[in-house]
Amino acid sequence: MNNSLLVNYGSHLTLLALKLRLPIKGIIKKTIFKQFCGGATFEECNKTIQELAAYNVATILDYGAEGKETDAAFDITVKESIKSVRFAAEHDTVPVISCKITGLAQNDLLKKITANEELSEKDKATYQKALGRLDIICKEAYQLKVALFIDAEESWIQGAIDNMTDTMMERYNKEYITIYNTFQMYRHDRLDFLKKSFALAQEKGFILGAKLVRGAYMEKERLRASEKGYPSPIQPDKASTDNDYNAAVKFCVENYNYIGSCLASHNEYSTRYQLELMKEMGIPKDHLHFNFCQLYGMSDNLTFNLAKAGYNVAKYVPYGPVKDVIPYLIRRAQENSAVDGEVSRERGMINQELQRRKKD
């Protein structure tokens, strides 16, 4: 799945087949769904959760359904998220759930806020309603001591997501970290934004929760910038992304008393870099302010070696009805095709292990 051309064609054909109502759900469920998802419901994820827990790997539950923008659909997302929080509270190996703001608020509204457009009274009321939905989930997570990762999304709606997340962190990160914002380091402005977020947390008296990712919308971002004639928010090259990512890692480690971070990466160098920094500063491997996570179905070599060494590590496990999680699965396939080096390295390790077992 690391051939980007094949992945792009496959993605378009999958969406077309669904639109034409061709019977492909069964094929998807037995292939890409099985590879990257825990099940259709979080109850179905139980087997995966238990299998990971046997190796001291935690689970981050992510309701992967996307795309509906009605009050009824938003309310379903709230209910599903609350159920996930309560499920996590009852399972020590599920310390975190994930949340997408686009599952709670209209895209057009998030665009207006991010663009600093003047909001009508109706828009303001709709925004407060969306903020209220998020608050219901965050409050439940805070009360049950379950962490909540707020996903990052496209740059043209991210400003609104950041504002909403900052509001929740100020409410619920005073005593301990409940809410984490996500920082996409493939954007050239995110290292500076991380530092500004930390300054805001210091000023307002809360602990910053920072999940560090490289990003999953690169082609979409560049295409939109080109079509609309504005400068691309994406770094000029991979080296720039890597430099900012590692600088963000260092910043979080150096300020670990006031920042809880999650290194959400499949990159071996960035992972080793954080381990070295933690060792240099004498930080315990299992310190609560340090977490690592990788996507379910990817980079098992990193996940299980970190767990074996005693670090806090988890798999990001999405769940939801097959037809609803397909946009998520397509992004995972595209992301997989964009990390050729890491995927090739993992494939090489698997081949080496198979050869070793044959000799034994």
User: Domains in the chain, ordered, with CATH?
Assistant: 27-333 (3.20.20.220)
Measured from the Cβ of residue 219, the count of other Cβ atoms closer than 10 Å reads 13
Burial of 37 (C-beta count, 10 Å sphere; 0-12/13-18/19+): buried
The one-letter code for the residue type at 319 is Y
pLDDT of residue 334: 58
CA-based nearest residue to 264, from 255, 274, 254: 274
Higher confidence at residue 146 or residue 334? Answer: 146
Instruction: Report the C-alpha gap between 154 and 100 in whole angstroms.
Output: 12
Bridge partners, residue 211, by sequence: 182, 262
Measured from the Cβ of residue 181, the count of other Cβ atoms closer than 10 Å reads 23
Digit-coded pLDDT (tens) for 99-129 = 999 999 999 999 999 999 999 999 999 999 9
Residues 248, 242 contacting (CB under 8 angstroms):
no
What token pair was written down for 224? 């939109």
pLDDT at 346 over 70: no
At 53 the three-state DSSP class reads: helix
Share of the chain above pLDDT 70, in %: 81
Measured from the Cβ of residue 123, the count of other Cβ atoms closer than 10 Å reads 16
pTM, full prediction: 0.88
Tell me which H or E stretch contains 249.
helix 238-254
Q: Find the helix packing angle between 107-114 and 121-144, rounded to 10°.
A: 100
pLDDT of residue 17: 46
pLDDT of residue 355: 54
Per the prediction, the chain carries an average pLDDT of 88
Q: Which of 23-27, 167-171, 308-312 is least confident?
A: 23-27
At 28 the three-state DSSP class reads: helix
pLDDT at 321 over 80: yes
Digit-coded pLDDT (tens) for 46-101 = 999 999 999 999 999 998 766 578 999 999 899 999 999 999 999 999 999 999 99
pLDDT at 345 over 60: no
Higher confidence at residue 334 or residue 258? Answer: 258
Residues 178, 213 contacting (CB under 8 angstroms):
no
pLDDT band, residue 170 (cuts 50/70/90): very high
pLDDT of residue 294: 96
pLDDT of residue 325: 77
Averaged pLDDT for residues 161-180: 98
Digit-coded pLDDT (tens) for 174-199 = 999 999 999 999 999 999 999 999 99
pLDDT of residue 11: 45
Instruction: Name, in order, each residue with C-beta under 8 angstroms of 160's C-beta and a sequence gap of 6 or more.
Output: 101, 105, 109, 110, 111, 113, 114
